[in-house]
Structure 1
Amino acid sequence: MTTVLQRTTPPTAARGWWAKTVAAARYEYLMQVRRPAVWVVVLGLIALRCASPFPPGFTSSTDLPFLVADWAGNFVMLCPIGVGAVLADRARRESRLELNDLLASTPTGIGPRLWGKAIGAGAATITPVAVAWVGLLGYLTARHGAGVIPVGLAAFAAIVLPGLVFISACSVTVPYLTGPVLYRIGVFGYWIWGNMVGPRFGIPTPAGTPFEAIGEYPAGAWFHGTLFDARQRGITPTGGEAVLSIAFLLLMALATLMITQLVLTRRNPS
């Protein structure tokens, strides 16, 4: 009996911040990755864009970095909108299910719950993108050889992933202030305006600058990918500008989470 009653793991209150965050992230990942909407929406937008890949004719190229970079551009053109849309309701899920008081009574804390939600639910929503990318690399490997694989993994990390991390962080935090419906409208408008409406339209936009989220700078600087808005600005991105573009997105993701944690802590001091 003594052996049965003996704890095999320390209670939650005795665990450190990181252990609590990992536990929350694991729970959120398993909850989110099982949602059919995550797979249907994200994969549907990828298929919609890649059914008619852009720019025309690039798929016949034998330059592997250029080929992979332009496929990455097609992947990231629309799917972040889907990632943001399906993540937007995670912020207010506890409130809708009337779980706020119960969660507040646990020793986990606001910080680990928020960061665990961002890491776990964000990773789960990015999972369909990663699965689709692996499938594409398999197809390209069959056509062009195994040299596609390291280039493809690097392109995913440099071109696709930073924008998705940024959108995931915003989608877990901003709906606390706006609600999911208004946020979904906002993320759609931001993505089109900030990444796909170039300077040729005469509208102030970050498109074609290091502060866009579509990965054009690392694609152009490191993989010789097709440049659109940056070239309209007369810019050929350098490696340093590509690093700046990635760092900006990751720092904005961190800042969004830190500010949200501060606001929630002040709202619910414990």
Structure 2
Amino acid sequence: MNSLKMAWGALHYEFLMQVRRPTLWLTFLGFALLLLNRSLIGGMIALHAPTLQLAALLALLTNWLAPLGVGIFLADRLPRDRRLKVEELLNTLSGTIRMRMLSKYLGATLATLLPAFLLYLLILGFAVWQTGNFLLIPPGIVCYAVIVLPGMFFVSAFSIACPAVIWGPLYQFLFFGYWFWGNLLSPTSGLPTLNGTALTPIGTVIDISFFGISSMRGVAGPSSPLNGVASIVALLGLAILALVALFKFLKWQQARQ
């Protein structure tokens, strides 16, 4: 019971530390100004897709930029602890490294996902206002969970783990380039890209596999639902592996001190 209280306290601390950052909210406000565009959302509405497919398209639209913000803002969690000497303080507590790491991951991730989810609700609400179709809301929530969250947890895990071994600003720079190369670059562009594979956290493969989208950013569809399942399993599995690797590294690092 004491361990659970400590884990909850650490999670609560990480959540508040992250959610109170003004730059986090200002960044997602900027994303909202870019994505709440009549031509973007109106173009999707003009396709006259069924309600479920329109909800899936809106979830994918949110994912163009939201995971980019999530990854960049989470990349400084461990470096900031070191810079502010919080890591040394935490090492004096009785909680295990695993508990602190999971609390940090869940607390910081949930806090960063809050403005990302509110951004999606704004986009969904704008589409409901444009179409007058309130039936968009229930499938919209389902689509967010299925299309957006697996990639978000994938991005969050690597954005917390990688800066433990490489310079944080370098990771942020590389992640920025990776996001556009591996998720938004069309596979038909002539350049190799991860877009269209199971390792596409933007959710394109999940979108065309589960919701019957004909094509999206050069990725042909629809495809078998098994491809969508494979993408979700691959993204969440790699997220877990990244966290396990981080735990092993932090344990090794503490043993050397």
Name the TM-score, length of structure 1 as normaliser: 0.86
Equivalent pair of 1:199/1:229 in contact (CA under 8 Å): yes
> Which has the larger displacement, 50-59 or 248-257?
50-59
Separation (CA, whole Å) in 1 of partners of 2:98 and 2:139:
36
Separation (CA, whole Å) in 2 of partners of 1:76 and 1:185:
19
Offset, 1:53: 5.5
Equivalent pair of 2:78/2:163 in contact (CA under 8 Å): yes
Separation (CA, whole Å) in 1 of partners of 2:133 and 2:39:
21
Where in structure 2 are the equivalents of 1:186-225 lying within 5 Å? 186-225=174-213
Identity of aligned residues (%): 32
Residue 170 of structure 1 corresponds to 158
Three-state SS of the structure 2 residue aligned to 1:39 is helix
Three-state SS of the structure 1 residue aligned to 2:75 is helix
- Does residue 1:116 correspond to 2:122, yes or no? no
Deviations 1:85-104 (A, max 9, x none): 11111111121012332211
Distance 1:217 1:154, change over 3 A: same
Consecutive unaligned residues in structure 2, runs of 5 or more: none
Where in structure 2 are the equivalents of 1:1-270 lying within 5 Å? 15-16=2-3, 18-51=4-37, 54=40, 57-60=43-46, 61=48, 63-142=50-129, 143-225=131-213, 226-231=215-220, 236-269=222-255
Offset, 1:116: 0.7
Equivalent pair of 2:185/2:217 in contact (CA under 8 Å): no
Three-state SS of the structure 2 residue aligned to 1:41 is helix
Three-state SS of the structure 1 residue aligned to 2:222 is coil
Distance 1:176 1:144, change over 3 A: same
Offset, 1:19: 4.4
Consecutive unaligned residues in structure 1, runs of 5 or more: 1-13
Equivalent pair of 1:208/1:228 in contact (CA under 8 Å): no
Equivalent pair of 1:53/1:74 in contact (CA under 8 Å): no
Offset, 1:46: 4.1
Separation (CA, whole Å) in 1 of partners of 2:100 and 2:139:
36
Separation (CA, whole Å) in 1 of partners of 2:178 and 2:31:
17
Separation (CA, whole Å) in 2 of partners of 1:165 and 1:64:
26
Residue 6 of structure 1 corresponds to none
Distance 1:207 1:123, change over 3 A: same
Three-state SS of the structure 2 residue aligned to 1:242 is helix
Distance 1:221 1:144, change over 3 A: farther
RMSD: 2.1
Offset, 1:206: 1.2
